[in-house]
Amino acid sequence: MLDRLINYAFLLLLIFLFVLSAGSPERYQIIIALLAALLFSFAVFILNWLTLDGAMAASVFGGIAFGLGGWTVAGLILLFFITSTLLSVNSIVVIEATAQAFSERKRRDGIQVWANGFWVAVCVICWFVFKADLFLFGAAGAIATATADTWATEMGSNRFGGSTFLITNLKRVKAGTDGGISLQGTVAALLGSLMIAAASILFFSITWGVALLAVFLPGFLGNIADSYLGATFQQVRKDSDTNESPFQMRIDNNFVNWAATGIGSLTAVIINVLLLL
């Protein structure tokens, strides 16, 4: 239900901008973006990578990202999606779960789409309205965070062996534990965020120094925030049988991803503002 409400809200915003703010070339781009996003989302739905709600969310998100942000944003999103999908498809992680839980893991729903894409969409809309490049960095920071988190999850979950430790107390835990960090996962997060930073040099026409400070660093810090929030709320909830607050009960992986990408986005905006001073 929540993902559908988000779909409606962003779609209404897109229609509003299409009618009142977009010029003729921008309107054509929005229309093309929506059609392309619909076709792409339908294809990944057929491939069983998205649920129907996930495909609907991806259509709206793609229409905003490409329609308003152009190739500068869409290119980064495609890079995140392609690399993350390849890592997920080739993952050799042993999952101790039921068949239904495995199916849900493979098919992402609308909430999962918006958990990673919400702040990207917000930043793209702000950039389209205010024409301030700092919002493009905000979108890149959110994408870098999502990439770092996904790479860390896929590469850090027993693919290369090694030990996993809870970020809050460094207690050894099983690979895949919420809030768990490992050497291989940390390296993967660094590489994932670095990849988005390197691509930003091409799409944003910026220097390596700016890319490292305003894209790479926020992405990696957002990933650290994801692990910390996972250990503080998700793992506490799972480990505690009593004295569990209602607030902790509402914290799940989707909320943690949403908060972490928001932190990565906000950090990128703040760093960009400081660089302009």
Query: How far apart, in whole angstroms, are the C-alpha atoms of residue 83 and residue 151?
Result: 9
Tokens representing residue 165 in the block: 């430790």
Residue 256: closest CA among 221, 277, 231: 231
> Who's near 87: CB < 8 A, 6+ residues apart?
150, 151, 154, 155
Beta bridge partners of 108: 50
Mean pLDDT by 10-residue block, N- to C-terminus, for the chain (277 residues)? Answer: 92 94 90 94 88 93 95 94 79 41 60 95 96 95 97 76 85 87 93 97 94 97 95 67 50 92 98 88
Beta bridge partners of 181: 165
Q: Look up residue 242 and give its DSSP letter.
A: S
Crossing angle for the helix pair 183-204 and 217-229, nearest 10 degrees? 140
**Strand 180-182 with 172-173, pairing:** unpaired
Question: For residue 47, what pLDDT is reported?
Answer: 85
Question: For residue 155, what pLDDT is reported?
Answer: 84
Are 48 and 103 in contact, with CB atoms under 8 Å apart? Answer: no
Instruction: Determine how many CB atoms are found less than 10 A away from the CB of residue 247.
Output: 9
30 φ, ψ (degrees, to nearest 5): -65, -45
Tokens representing residue 225 in the block: 């925030």
Using a cut of 0.85, tell me whether the model's pTM lies above it: yes
Query: How far apart, in whole angstroms, are the C-alpha atoms of residue 21 and residue 19?
Result: 6
Question: For residue 190, what pLDDT is reported?
Answer: 97
Q: Which amino acid belongs to residue 69?
A: G
Full domain range(s) for residue 138: 2-276
Query: How far apart, in whole angstroms, are the C-alpha atoms of residue 39 and residue 33?
Result: 10
> Who's near 177: CB < 8 A, 6+ residues apart?
164, 166, 235
Residue 93 gets the label, from left (phi > 0), alpha (psi -120 to 50) or beta, of beta
Beta bridge partners of 172: 165
Query: How far apart, in whole angstroms, are the C-alpha atoms of residue 179 and residue 228?
Result: 6
Query: How far apart, in whole angstroms, are the C-alpha atoms of residue 261 and residue 254?
Result: 11
Question: For residue 115, what pLDDT is reported?
Answer: 95
Tell me the three-class secondary structure of 161-181, residue by residue: CCCEEECCCCCEECCCCCCEE
Are 193 and 155 in contact, with CB atoms under 8 Å apart? Answer: no
Tokens representing residue 126 in the block: 């702000």
Q: How many domains does the chain have?
A: 1
